[in-house]
Structure 1
Amino acid sequence: MERISTAFTIDVRRLTVLRELQRRGSLARTAEALHLTPSAVSQQIATLAREVGAPLTERDGRGVRLTGQARVLLAHAETIAAQLERARADLAAYREGGRGQVTIGCFGSGILGLLPPVLRALAGRLPHVRVDVVEAEPPDVFTALDAGRLDVVVAVDFAATPPHTDRRYTRTDLLTDVLDLVVPEGHPLAGRDRVPLRDLAGEPWIVGAAESCCGAVARAVCAAAGFTPDVRHAVNDWAALTALVEAGAGVALVPRLVRPLYAHRRLTVLPVAGQPPSRNVFAAVRAGAEGDPVLSALRDQLRCAAEESTVVG
Structure 2
Amino acid sequence: MFELRRLRMLHELALRGTLAAVADALAYSPSTISQQLALLEREAGVALFEPDGRGVRLTAPGRLLAAHAERALELDETARIDLERLQPTSVPVRIAVMQTAAQAILAPALSLVAAADPDLRVEVAELPPEEGLFELSARRFDLVVAEQYPGSARAHRADLDREVIGLDPIRLAVAPDDAPTGLSDLRDRAWVMEPRGTAARGWAVDQCRAAGFEPDVRFEIADLTAQVSLIAAGHAVGLLPDLVWGDAAPRARLVDLPSAPTRELFTASRRSAARRPGIVQVRDALRRAFPG
TM range (shorter): 0.5 to 0.7
Q: Which runs of 5+ in 2 are unaligned?
A: 6-81
Q: Structure 2 residue aligned with 1:233, among 215, 219, 228?
A: 219
- What amino acid does structure 2 have at the position aligned with 1:294? G
Q: Is the 8 A contact 1:170 1:287 kept in 2?
A: yes
Alignment partner, residue 269 of structure 1? 254
Alignment partner, residue 262 of structure 2? 278
**Are the structure 2 counterparts of residues 93 and 262 from structure 1 closer, same or farther at C-alpha, using a change threshold of 3 Å?**
same
**Root mean square deviation of aligned Cα:** 2.8
Alignment partner, residue 206 of structure 1? 192
Q: Structure 1 residue aligned with 2:275, among 277, 281, 291?
A: 291
**Are the structure 2 counterparts of residues 95 and 237 from structure 1 closer, same or farther at C-alpha, using a change threshold of 3 Å?**
farther
CA distances 1:224-265 after superposition (whole Å, capped 9, x unpaired):
444321111112211211111122112111111111497373
Q: Distance in 1 between matches of 2:208 and 2:147?
A: 17
Q: Distance in 1 between matches of 2:198 and 2:274?
A: 28
Q: Distance in 2 between matches of 1:161 and 1:143?
A: 16
Q: Is the 8 A contact 1:138 1:161 kept in 2?
A: no
With 254-263 and 128-137 compared, the bigger mean Cα shift is at 254-263
Q: Structure 1 residue aligned with 2:201, among 203, 215, 236?
A: 215
- What amino acid does structure 1 have at the position aligned with 2:136? L
1:98 to partner: Cα distance: 6.0
What percent of counterpart residues are identical? 29
Alignment pair present for 1:178 and 2:177: no
1:122 to partner: Cα distance: 0.5
Q: Is the 8 A contact 2:221 2:227 kept in 1?
A: yes
Q: Distance in 2 between matches of 1:177 and 1:98?
A: 35
- What amino acid does structure 2 have at the position aligned with 1:263? A
With 222-231 and 202-211 compared, the bigger mean Cα shift is at 222-231
- What amino acid does structure 2 have at the position aligned with 1:102? V
Q: Distance in 1 between matches of 2:108 and 2:117?
A: 14
* Secondary structure of the structure 1 residue equivalent to 2:288: helix
Q: Distance in 1 between matches of 2:89 and 2:98?
A: 27
**Are the structure 2 counterparts of residues 93 and 163 from structure 1 closer, same or farther at C-alpha, using a change threshold of 3 Å?**
closer
Alignment partner, residue 303 of structure 1? 287
Comparing both chains, which one has the higher relative contact order based on Cα–Cα distances under 8 Å and sequence gaps of 6 or more?
A: 2
Query: Which structure has the bigger radius of gyration?
Result: 1
**Are the structure 2 counterparts of residues 248 and 196 from structure 1 closer, same or farther at C-alpha, using a change threshold of 3 Å?**
closer
Q: Distance in 1 between matches of 2:219 and 2:105?
A: 27
- What amino acid does structure 2 have at the position aligned with 1:147? A
Q: Is the 8 A contact 1:239 1:261 kept in 2?
A: no
Alignment partner, residue 25 of structure 2? none
CA distances 1:169-196 after superposition (whole Å, capped 9, x unpaired):
010012121111111122133xxxxx33
Q: Which runs of 5+ in 1 are unaligned?
A: 1-6, 8-90, 190-194
Alignment partner, residue 79 of structure 1? none
Alignment partner, residue 163 of structure 1? 155
Q: Distance in 2 between matches of 1:163 and 1:247?
A: 37
Q: Structure 2 residue aligned with 1:101, among 83, 86, 92?
A: 92
Q: Distance in 2 between matches of 1:257 and 1:299?
A: 18
Q: Structure 1 residue aligned with 2:178, among 184, 187, 194?
A: 187
Alignment partner, residue 146 of structure 1? 137
- What amino acid does structure 1 have at the position aligned with 2:281? A
With 231-240 and 217-226 compared, the bigger mean Cα shift is at 217-226
Alignment partner, residue 228 of structure 2? 242
Q: Is the 8 A contact 1:97 1:126 kept in 2?
A: no
**Are the structure 2 counterparts of residues 137 and 264 from structure 1 closer, same or farther at C-alpha, using a change threshold of 3 Å?**
closer
Q: Is the 8 A contact 1:178 1:277 kept in 2?
A: yes
Alignment pair present for 1:114 and 2:98: no
Alignment partner, residue 62 of structure 1? none
Dislocated runs of 4+, deviation >6 Å: 91-94
Q: Distance in 2 between matches of 1:221 and 1:185?
A: 22
**Are the structure 2 counterparts of residues 167 and 264 from structure 1 closer, same or farther at C-alpha, using a change threshold of 3 Å?**
closer
Q: Distance in 2 between matches of 1:301 and 1:100?
A: 18
**Are the structure 2 counterparts of residues 141 and 175 from structure 1 closer, same or farther at C-alpha, using a change threshold of 3 Å?**
same
Normalising by structure 1, we get a TM-score of 0.61
